[in-house]
Each structure stands twice: as structure tokens, then as C-alpha cells.
């Protein structure tokens, strides 16, 4: 207890005859006392009583107990309330005619449609969303798909600023749970109050934030049960109070609001007092982080949930913040034994499902985040048994029929996409541990000869597992019926495909890196195959982004996409450096670059981390220009390639003819995303240093993938090597051709290779060139 607290306590026992405190209107006039010194109520003179001046105002608790209150001198919380750990509330005097703030409990009855939007669903919609009754009822409302027309089911929603209440303290919302703050120092409490950590937006704005969360965040990371949340959040019938057992942590709810800020409109941000969406998102992140920093909650489950949501934050100043939050989420989950959900017989079924849901969300985030920012995963097979039953559709069934933002059919489709991502996360466990080691990229320099020799077959095994998953995923994604799906389903399915292609590209890049120094004919042939596979993956990512822009869902892309599209933007820019402006394909390349540009700009309007990616892209293009001269000087082209391969005039030619130059650029991009700064030549693996290739040692045919050996034998027999690059020229994913290719019309065409619509693209591409369009474009 500090000195001020001690002095305040002594005040209570010093003079028991001191008059009680109270409100101005309730207080009696004190009897005349002999005052020795009016300047200090605590001064004492001989034979004179201490004059204790009555407090002008007392809080409700002190007034009821009739004890002295120091709320006016201490700030927001008086000494008594702070020591007792209770809320300090000051009651307005009778003479002050102030209309009290309306409590949430007193809000009139309204249905979910009123909560979620001010405008009704158009009359031509197939159905309307009716309020669901209490979940104990036998009847259930029939809800069809009123959201099929667009991603946002309430596109015209706008709150009237004049009708908004000011931000309200969290205690007015009875679904918010907060622990006692008695352990927080008064000055810290004042600081948190000053920063707005204890205040939440009023209902009209809060409804908008909550709706955006369940539209755009929850489908990808369902850490909480949506049905349980709506039971807590929606106003009760006849203003009945809620069951106190179902509440959400203030820290978790703050983290939810932070993530949803990336999807609000500029109008909503302005109504909250922010100039831009980025400013609102940053402010909400700081408030959630302060709640964590000042130890406002001790529940490890809640801390894990909140920290997992904060992994969506990154900035130029804090490039590693997302991985740090992920590490904290895992630590708090382990403290709560979340990973032991299937082994603890003492927990209830509801608690088991809650832990299971959280743990698999952590695993999924531990794959998507490291894959994008090129960092090592934290949950490996060494610390978790992946044969443990994972989250299933049955586990998510409870919330499928009880969503206030999606109909049941869309919710089921989104659940299927999420479960497919969980399967992909398991397949990525070994591959990502291999591609992005915990000790960084320089650890590749420590590999011995046997490790390098065994690389090709290991990588091929990882690719086979991924291809097997992709085949199963494509069976579910039926091209004919796909265009009838909700745009949210198409968005998250496209993102899933992007994750798969990014992982495959990373494996191709690693294998080509390991082949450096091997100058045999087998090496040349394998490099052509790897170039073809890498081209297919990058082209698929570009095609997916093009579909996002055409479907008008690119504005809902998560922040992780910024890292996934950085390399395709750089490679397109490299192509435009090597091709003349009069080339027939130059315009197609320029258009594709602008589409990627469009997606990046949309992310930059909402996320602070997008600016870091722009800086990396800019620097990489400058490095690519300098590498161009190195390629011309060395010009070490294999004889087999120069005999018959066509002049491709793109980055693929650079990859095949001088892979070290290409790998220096791609590895620099990877390391930049991983550590937040562009690497120097000394930071790169020695294998990629200028003139520092490893001694030439050929890899035995027995350790190479079987496909390479078969193609080598075929090449020796027929002498035709152009067939190796044939997939590149004929692929429907060829991003140099905006028309529909011949293979696109086949029965197995990819659903994301939609036809080019000139009219739509002209509207999309009307923004002009961007900063990364290179000279001569």
C-alpha cells in the first residue's frame, strides 16, 4: 500500500465525529467549528479539533455506507472502491437535469434483422431472415439464402450519426465479462481509461463491427461458437436479463473488434471518429494490446483466443508482431491444456468442443501465417499427435443453422472449406518444417552431402501428398455448380487454392536451390521441369487474384494475401523488363500486373502491413534490374536448351538459364518477408553468392524423382526436349493470355479460370499505372 492509500485510511479512524459525505442535495449544513487555518483541513493546533471538510461529492457505494469519499480528488475511482475491487459510480445530483444513458438491458425488443441492418431485404429476394426463437423451442425458422446477391447481405446499411449514442463503458453490456481491476495501479487504470480501453462503440456501430466479424473473419477462424455468441449478444425478449454463465471476455471482444475493423466502410470509421479504416484498425489493436499488457484478464483460454485474433496485425515497425502473438496463443493454450481435449475425461462435452475448436484454429493459423511470411511453424509432429481426431462438420453443426449473417446452405459450404483447410494444414506440417527451418535460411549451408542428395525424393514425396489433397479438394469443387455458390464460398475456396499453390511453389524453389552446382544433363532437364511447375503455381495464383477482382471480392481479402501475391507481382515486373513494348504479349502481361496491383491497393487501404510488402517489391525490382546485366555477362546456357527451346522472354527463361540469379531474387523476397528488412548478399545462403556455387557433384539417378529419369531416357531416344516446357505453352493457367485457352473448355478445367470480360476489366484497369510498373511499360 502506497503512502497516499495509508493517509486515506487513517482519515477514517482519526475523527469518528466527522460528518458523513453525501450528494449536494442530500447533505446537511455542518455545525460551526472553530477553524484555525482555512488553507488546510488537516492542520492541527493545540487544544483545537481537526477540521474535516465534507466531501462535495461521494460515489454511490460510499454514500450508501456513509463514509468519506475522495472520488473528486482521486479521479475515476475512489480509494474505498479501489480497495474493495468494485466499480465506482457517481450519481448525478437532482438539480442537474441530465438524461441518463440508456442501458443495454432497457433497449426495446427488436429482431436480428433490425440489429444487423437498417434496410430490409429487397422484395425480390428468395426469402427473408426471420428472428430465430429461443433455442429450446421445437420449431425452427426456415431460412433460405437471402444473401446470394452479394458478399455483404446488408450493402445499404448506414447508421444515422445523429442518432448514435457516445461510446459506452463496457459494464453497460451485460454480455461482457471483466475481472476485477483492483490489482491495477490507479495511474495505470487512469491511463487505460484515457486510451478508451474500457469503452465500446454504441449499438448501431457495434452491430456493424460484429456483423463484419462473422461475415469475413469467423468463416476462416471460428474460435468461438457463433450460436452461443448470438445468444449472448442479441437483446432479450421483454428485457429479461441474460444467463450470467454465458459471457465473453473484454479482451477477446476487443480483439474481435480489431479484426473486423479491416472490413468496415469509411463511413463507419468516420462515425467512430477516425479518418481512415487503417487508423481505426490500428487504434482498436492498441486498445486490445493495452488490455493484455496491463494484465486485465487471467483466463488462459481467453488470452489464447484474443492473442490468436491479434495475429492479424503487422506493420512496418512491428513486422514480427503476428508471429509473436501466435507464440503467445500457443503458450496460453498449453497452459489451459487445450491440446489435451481428447484425453481429459473430467471436462464436459461443451468444454471439450471449445478446446478442440480453439486448438485446430491455432494449427491452421500456424500454417497459413508462416507459409505467407516464410517463417518456421511452431506446432510440429514432435509436440502434437496429428492422428488425434480433428474438428469435423458435426462439431460445427450447432452454429450452421443459427447464423444471423449467412443462411444454412452457405454456412455449410463455408464449413466444408474450413475443414478442407484443416486437411491442408496437416499435409503442410512436414513440408513447411522442411522448407522454412527454425534456424533460418542460412541453415541450408550446414547440410552435408547426404542431406542434399536425399532432398529431391523428399520434396517429391511432399508434392505427392499435396497433390493428393488437391485432388480431393477438386472433387468437392464442382465447376458446373460453383458459379451458383455464395461469393464468400468462392472467396475462401480461392484462398485455399492459393495456399496450396504457394506451398508447391516453395517446394519447387527449394529443390532448384539444392540442385545448384550440379551441371549434368540430368540437372538441366530437372530445372526445366521445376520451371514448368513453378510457372504453373505462380500463374494459378495470378488467375485466382484475377477472379477475385472480377467477382468484386478482392476488398475482403485477409491481410495474409499481401505476402502471397508479392512474388507474382515481382515476376510480372521482371517480364515487362525483358520484353519489348511492341511484343504481342506485352499488353496481356501489363493487364495482369494491374490486376495484382488492384488487389494490393485494396489491401493497402485497410492493412498497415501492406506498405511493407510494397517496399519489398520496389527493392526486389531494383535488384532484378541489376541481375539483368549479370545474366548477360555470364550467359552460361546449356547446349540442350539452346538447340530447340523457344525464346520465352520471361522470368522462366531466367530461371532455366541462370537459376542462381532467379533464386537470389526469390530468396531475398522470402527473407524480407520473414525478418522485415531486405537482406544483404552476406545474409543469403552461400550457394547463391556470386561465384560461390558449391563444387559440382552430380546427384545419382536413383535419388532423383522417377519422372526426371523417365523424361531423360525419352529425351535421349527422341531428341525432343521442347515437350518438357509444353505445359507452360498450353496451360489454361497461362497468365500471359487473357483469352480462353483451348484446354480451358475441357471437363476438368479449374473453376477459377473464368472467362475474360473486356468490359469489366476496362473498369478495373482504369486506375492507371502504379509505382511498380517498370520502365518501358
* Bridge partner list, 200: 168
pLDDT of amino acid 395? 95
Grouping H, G, I as helix, E, B as strand and the rest as coil, residue 489 is: helix
pLDDT in tens, 297-321: 999 999 999 999 999 998 989 999 9
pLDDT in tens, 4-20: 554 544 454 444 333 44
DSSP 407-454: -HHHHHHHHHHHHHHHHHHHHHHHHHHHHS-TT-GGGGGG--HHHHHH
Grouping H, G, I as helix, E, B as strand and the rest as coil, residue 134 is: coil
> What's the distance, Cα to Cα, between the start and end of the chain in Å?
70
pLDDT of amino acid 2? 52
pLDDT in tens, 139-156: 333 333 333 333 443 333
CA 383, distance to chain mean position in Å, is: 24
Alpha-helical regions (H) of 198-264: 203-216, 226-233, 250-260
DSSP 731-756: -TT-TT--SPPGGGGSTT--TT-PPP
C-alpha cell of residue 589: 502481361
Distance CA 232, CA 225 (A): 11
List of residues 6+ apart from 323 with CB closer than 8 A: 311, 369, 370, 373, 375
pLDDT of amino acid 450? 82
- As a whole number of Å, the CA-based R_g of the chain is 32
Q: Which residues of the chain have pLDDT under 50?
A: 3, 6, 8-10, 12-46, 48, 50, 95-165, 238, 636-648, 692-704, 706-709, 712-713, 715-777
C-alpha cell of residue 187: 495511474
Distance CA 201, CA 271 (A): 10
- Secondary structure element (H or E) that encloses residue 622, with its range: helix 610-634
| Cβ neighbour number for residue 363 with a 10 Å cutoff | 23
The 3-class SS string of 646-709 reads CCCCCHHHHHHHCHHHHHHHHHHHHHHHHHCCCCCHHHCCHHHCCCCCCCCCCCCHHHCCHHHH
pLDDT in tens, 327-345: 999 999 999 999 999 998 8
| pTM confidence score | 0.72
pLDDT of amino acid 582? 63
C-alpha cell of residue 309: 485474433
pLDDT of amino acid 117? 39
- Secondary structure element (H or E) that encloses residue 268, with its range: helix 266-271
> DSSP label at 135?
T
pLDDT of amino acid 104? 39
pLDDT of amino acid 42? 43
Amino acid at each position: 500500500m502506497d503512502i497516499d492509500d495509508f493517509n486515506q485510511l487513517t482519515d477514517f479512524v482519526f475523527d469518528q465525529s466527522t460528518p458523513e459525505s453525501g450528494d449536494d442535495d442530500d447533505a446537511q449544513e455542518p455545525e460551526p467549528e472553530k477553524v484555525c487555518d482555512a488553507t488546510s483541513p488537516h492542520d492541527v493546533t493545540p487544544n483545537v479539533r481537526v477540521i474535516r471538510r465534507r466531501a462535495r461529492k461521494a460515489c454511490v457505494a460510499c454514500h450508501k455506507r456513509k463514509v468519506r469519499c475522495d472520488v473528486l480528488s482521486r479521479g475515476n475511482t475512489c480509494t474505498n472502491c479501489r480497495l474493495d475491487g468494485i466499480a465506482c459510480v457517481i450519481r448525478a445530483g437532482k438539480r442537474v437535469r441530465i438524461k441518463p444513458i440508456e442501458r443495454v438491458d432497457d433497449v426495446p425488443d427488436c429482431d436480428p434483422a433490425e440489429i444487423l441492418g437498417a434496410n430490409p431485404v429487397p422484395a425480390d429476394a428468395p426469402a427473408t431472415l426471420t428472428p430465430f426463437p429461443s433455442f429450446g423451442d421445437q420449431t425452427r425458422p426456415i431460412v433460405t439464402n437471402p444473401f446470394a446477391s452479394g458478399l455483404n447481405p446488408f450493402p445499404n446499411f448506414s447508421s444515422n450519426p445523429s442518432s448514435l449514442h457516445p461510446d459506452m463503458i463496457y459494464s453497460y453490456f451485460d454480455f461482457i465479462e471483466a475481472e476485477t481491476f483492483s490489482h491495477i495501479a490507479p495511474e495505470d487504470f487512469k491511463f487505460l481509461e484515457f486510451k478508451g480501453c474500457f469503452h465500446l462503440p454504441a449499438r448501431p456501430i457495434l452491430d456493424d463491427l460484429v456483423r463484419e466479424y462473422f461475415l469475413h473473419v469467423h468463416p476462416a477462424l471460428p474460435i468461438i461458437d457463433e450460436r452461443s455468441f448470438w445468444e449472448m449478444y442479441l437483446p432479450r425478449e421483454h428485457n429479461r436479463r441474460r444467463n450470467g454463465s454465458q459471457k465473453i471476455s473484454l479482451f477477446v471482444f476487443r480483439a474481435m473488434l480489431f479484426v473486423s475493423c479491416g472490413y468496415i466502410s469509411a463511413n463507419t470509421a468516420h462515425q467512430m471518429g477516425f479518418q481512415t479504416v487503417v487508423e481505426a484498425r490500428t487504434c482498436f489493436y492498441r486498445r486490445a494490446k493495452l488490455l493484455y499488457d496491463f494484465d486485465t484478464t487471467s483466463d488462459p483460454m481467453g488470452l489464447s483466443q484474443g492473442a490468436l485474433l491479434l495475429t492479424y496485425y503487422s506493420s512496418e515497425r512491428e513486422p514480427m508482431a503476428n508471429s509473436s502473438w501466435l507464440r503467445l496463443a500457443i503458450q496460453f493454450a498449453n497452459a489451459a491444456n487445450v491440446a489435451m481435449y481428447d484425453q481429459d475425461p473430467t471436462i464436459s462435452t461443451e468444454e471439450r468442443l471449445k478446446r478442440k475448436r480453439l486448438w485446430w484454429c491455432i494449427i491452421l493459423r500456424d500454417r497459413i501465417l508462416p507459409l505467407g511470411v516464410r517463417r518456421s511453424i511452431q506446432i510440429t509432429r514432435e509436440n502434437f499427435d496429428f492422428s488425434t481426431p480433428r474438428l469435423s462438420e458435426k462439431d460445427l453443426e450447432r452454429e450452421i443453422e443459427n447464423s444471423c449473417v449467412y443462411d444454412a446452405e452457405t454456412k455449410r459450404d463455408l464449413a466444408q472449406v474450413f475443414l478442407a483447410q484443416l486437411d491442408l494444414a496437416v499435409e503442410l506440417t512436414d513440408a513447411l518444417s522442411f522448407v522454412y527451418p527454425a534456424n533460418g535460411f542460412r541453415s541450408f549451408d550446414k547440410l552435408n552431402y547426404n542431406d542434399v542428395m536425399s532432398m529431391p525424393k523428399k520434396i517429391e514425396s511432399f508434392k505427392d501428398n499435396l497433390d493428393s489433397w488437391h485432388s480431393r479438394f477438386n472433387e468437392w469443387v464442382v465447376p458446373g455448380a460453383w458459379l451458383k455458390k455464395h461469393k464468400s464460398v468462392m472467396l475462401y475456396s480461392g484462398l485455399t487454392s492459393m495456399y496450396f499453390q504457394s506451398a508447391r511453389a516453395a517446394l519447387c524453389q527449394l529443390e532448384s536451390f539444392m540442385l545448384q552446382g550440379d551441371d549434368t544433363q540430368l540437372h538441366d532437364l530437372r530445372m526445366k521441369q521445376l520451371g514448368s511447375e513453378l510457372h504453373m503455381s505462380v500463374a494459378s495464383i495470378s488467375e485466382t487474384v484475377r477472379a477475385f477482382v472480377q467477382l468484386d471480392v478482392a476488398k475482403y481479402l485477409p491481410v495474409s494475401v499481401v505476402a502471397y501475391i508479392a512474388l507474382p507481382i515481382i515476376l510480372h515486373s521482371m517480364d515487362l523488363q525483358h520484353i519489348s513494348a511492341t511484343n504481342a504479349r506485352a499488353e496481356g502481361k501489363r493487364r495482369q500486373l494491374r490486376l495484382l496491383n488492384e488487389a494490393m491497393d485494396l489491401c493497402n487501404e485497410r492493412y498497415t502491413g501492406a506498405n511493407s510488402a510494397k517496399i519489398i517489391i520496389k527493392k526486389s525490382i531494383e535488384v532484378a534490374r541489376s541481375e539483368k546485366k549479370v545474366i548477360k555477362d555470364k550467359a552460361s546456357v546449356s547446349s540442350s536448351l539452346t538447340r530447340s527451346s523457344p525464346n520465352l522472354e520471361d522470368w522462366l527463361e531466367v530461371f532455366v538459364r541462370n537459376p542462381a540469379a532467379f533464386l537470389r531474387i526469390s530468396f531475398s523476397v522470402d527473407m524480407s518477408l520473414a525478418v522485415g528488412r531486405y537482406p544483404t548478399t552476406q545474409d543469403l545462403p552461400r550457394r547463391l553468392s556470386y561465384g560461390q556455387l558449391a563444387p559440382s557433384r552430380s546427384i545419382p539417378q536413383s535419388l532423383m524423382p522417377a519422372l526426371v529419369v523417365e523424361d531423360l531416357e525419352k529425351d535421349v531416344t527422341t531428341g525432343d526436349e521442347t515437350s518438357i516446357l509444353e505445359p507452360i505453352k498450353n496451360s489454361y493457367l497461362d497468365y500471359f493470355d487473357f483469352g480462353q485457352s483451348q484446354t480451358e473448355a475441357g471437363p476438368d478445367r479449374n473453376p477459377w479460370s473464368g472467362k475474360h470480360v473486356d468490359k469489366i476489366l476496362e473498369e478495373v484497369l482504369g486506375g492507371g499505372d502504379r509505382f511498380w510498373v517498370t520502365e518501358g511499360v
